[in-house]
A and B are shown apart, each in its own frame.
Chain A
Amino acid sequence: EAQVTQNPRYLITVTGKKLTVTCSQNMNHEYMSWYRQDPGLGLRQIYYSMNVEVTDKGDVPEGYKVSRKEKRNFPLILESPSPNQTSLYFCASSLGGSQLYGYTFGSGTRLTVV
């Protein structure tokens, strides 16, 4: 089944404790992206990657890191989480860059930083 797999689904952590949210897709998509969803703000892009070893900042990159060492994986790293990073996070992937493709989304990670 074509899908984007995100883990964990829920995570509660303490301020300053490094964490990684994993994302993997099995569709050979070039493009991958991370979003955060907050009430009243919709979804905002954190980082994106257009291919292996090519990553760039989205609209709200502060406090996050990403890497794209393999085409299928695109982990999101919070080196020193803070309470304002409490949010719902989505990983998504897509074929190509300029074509009429929607994204395939992961099932989301609910992160709480206390």
Chain B
Amino acid sequence: AQTVTQSQPEMSVQEAETVTLSCTYDTSESDYYLFWYKQPPSRQMILVIRQEAYKQQNATENRFSVNFQKAAKSFSLKISDSQLGDAAMYFCAYRSALSGANSKLTFGKGITLSVRP
């Protein structure tokens, strides 16, 4: 079974600075997808960024980028130019790419990010 580990329960960043949220995962599969979700106080789950395991290139979405290290099974999220609206809980998640499998997302425990003005 796959597991996702987010070892830092909380982090804080100064507005306009850069912060990196860590995530590691364990799997025996070679093809899979990785995601970062944001959950603001409204509790809505918002997809931030996604990465295909067979792609070497790290995904980027505006101020959000990932550092995907497949061999190390690491998938960290970098937020540049942090804004007050980035304050939220962030979840790292794994999804198998096996055809016909339960397409469940396996989530980490989440990290609460606060942004200091």
Contact = CB atoms under 8 A, between A and B. Distances in A.
Interface of A: 31, 33, 35, 40-45, 48, 50, 56, 58-59, 88, 90, 92, 94, 96-98, 100, 102-103, 105, 107-108
B33 A100 contact: yes
Contact of A48 (B91, B96, B104): B104
B45 interface: yes
Nearest to B42: A107
B101 A43 contact: no
Given A43-B107, A98-B100, 15 more contacts: A33-B103, A35-B107, A42-B108, A43-B105, A45-B104, A48-B103, A96-B103, A97-B100, A97-B101, A97-B102, A98-B99, A100-B33, A100-B97, A105-B44, A107-B42
B78 interface: no
Contacts of A90: 45
Contacts of A100: 33, 50, 52, 97
